[in-house]
Chains A and B, each alone.
Chain A
Amino acid sequence: MTAPQHVLDVEKLRRAFGGLVAVNDLSFSVARGEVLGLLGPNGSGKTTALNLMSGLLRSDAGAIRLQGKDISGLSSFKIARLGLARTFQLVRVLDGMDCRDNVRAGIVFNKPHVRGAEIETRITALLGRVGLAGQGHRPAAGLTYIDRKRLELARALAAAPQLLLLDEWLAGLNPSELTIGIDLIRSLKDDGITVVLVEHVMTAVRALCDRCVVMSSGRKIAEGATADVLSNPAVVEAYLGGAAAHA
Chain B
Amino acid sequence: MTLRKMNPRTMTFGAIALAAIVLLAFVPRMVNAYYLALAISLLQYTVLATAWGMFSGPTRYVSLATTAFFGVGAYTVAVLGEVLPWPVVLVIAASLGAILAAIVGLSTLRLSGVYFVIFTFGLAELIRQLVVWFEVNKSRVLGRYVFVDITQADIYWQLLTLTVAVFLIGWLITRSRLGFALRIIGEDETVASHSGVNTTIAKVALFTISSTIMAVVGAIMAPRWTYIEPSIAFNAMISFQVLIMALLGGAHRLWGPILGAVPLVILFELLSARFPNTFTIILGCIFLLIVYLLPRGVAGLIETGKARWGETFKRRAVA
Instruction: Name A's B-contacting residues (CB within 8 A).
Output: 54-56, 75-77, 80-81, 85-86, 88, 92-97, 101, 104-106, 108-111, 155, 159
Contacts and interface: CB of A to CB of B under 8 A. Distances in A.
Interface string B169-212: 00000000100110110111011111111110000000000000
Given A109-B177, A159-B195, A56 B190 contact: yes
Contact of B197 (A101, A104, A109): A109
A109 B199 contact: no
Contacts of A81: 196
B198 A77 contact: yes
A80 B180 contact: no
Contacts of A96: 183, 186-187
Given A77-B198, A94-B187, A105 B180 contact: yes
Contacts of B190: 56, 76, 88, 92
Given A55-B193, A94-B191, A109-B177, 15 more contacts: A56-B190, A77-B192, A77-B198, A80-B195, A88-B190, A92-B190, A93-B191, A94-B187, A94-B188, A105-B184, A105-B191, A105-B192, A106-B195, A109-B197, A110-B195
Interface string B242-275: 0000000000000000000000000000000000
A110 B181 CA distance: 12
- Chain B contact residues (Cβ within 8 angstroms of A): what range? 10 to 19
Interface of B: 177, 180-181, 183-184, 186-188, 190-199
Contacts of B197: 77, 109
Contact of B196 (A56, A92, A95, A110): A110
Contact of A85 (B181, B183, B194, B199): B194
Instruction: Count chain B CB atoms within 10 A of each CB in A56, A86, A109, A155 and give the residue with the most.
Output: A109
A76 B194 contact: yes
B57 to A, nearest CB: 12
A111 B180 CA distance: 16
B194 A95 contact: no
8 contacts: A54-B194, A77-B196, A77-B197, A85-B194, A92-B188, A92-B191, A106-B195, A108-B180
